[in-house]
Chains A and B, each alone.
Chain A
């Protein structure tokens, strides 16, 4: 089965630094998502992306966050100035299109902010 690929698997950064998390969604998928899971807490929706723009975002997704699909295959999440509370597992997901409700998830990037 095709897979969503996320890199790196682990990222350690200093507070205040910028990080970019990388995702390669499945090639013919149209909808893209970022979720995060802080240790011990539930998986939280961050943002959805369709047709080269954000279609929905949560209150977590503030001005420090941005997403981009720079080249038609990658889907990146940027955190401009990381905070300690940004430490979490970040999951990228994609799905084929409207009417297909299965989300395909990557294996996640564990972000640790020191």
Chain B
């Protein structure tokens, strides 16, 4: 069965410090994995995706994620948080070419 677990429902960082949002997946094969961001009152925007090419994936706005098969993880990182990064982040796994499973989301708070 496919599932996605986001380990932290809330993460709070200071502006300028690193961001780490954790995601673990459960899949019987190497999945396609995505991170989406949702700003208040906005739709879901794709940050980055992993589709079995390079394990370190670079996305928009300075975010990147590393696919680690041995740990079944796909954690999202950014070296230096900006105030504009405050949003909710969803880790998503694509199953069976058509069904996207969402994690429960992590709300990122950035303090000045």
Contact = CB atoms under 8 A, between A and B. Distances in A.
A56 interface: yes
Interface string A56-82: 100000000000000000000000000
Contact of A105 (B44, B103, B104): B44
Interface string A1-42: 000101000000000000000000000000101010000011
A31 B90 CA distance: 21
A48 interface: yes
A48 to B, nearest CB: 6
Contact of B98 (A41, A56, A91, A105): A56
Interface string B33-70: 01010000111111001010000000000000000000
Contacts of A105: 36, 43-45
Contact of B100 (A6, A55, A103, A107): A103
Interface residues of B, number: 23
Contacts of A93: 44
Contacts, number: 54
Contact of B43 (A33, A44, A56, A91): A91
B99 A102 contact: no
B44 to A, nearest CB: 4
Nearest to B4: A42
Contacts of B104: 41-42
A89 to B, nearest CB: 10
B98 A48 contact: yes
Contact of A45 (B46, B97, B99, B103): B99
The 4 residue pairs across chains A and B that have the minimum distance between CB atoms = A107-B43, A43-B102, A105-B44, A42-B104
Interface of A: 4, 6, 31, 33, 35, 41-45, 48, 50, 55-56, 91, 93, 98, 101-108
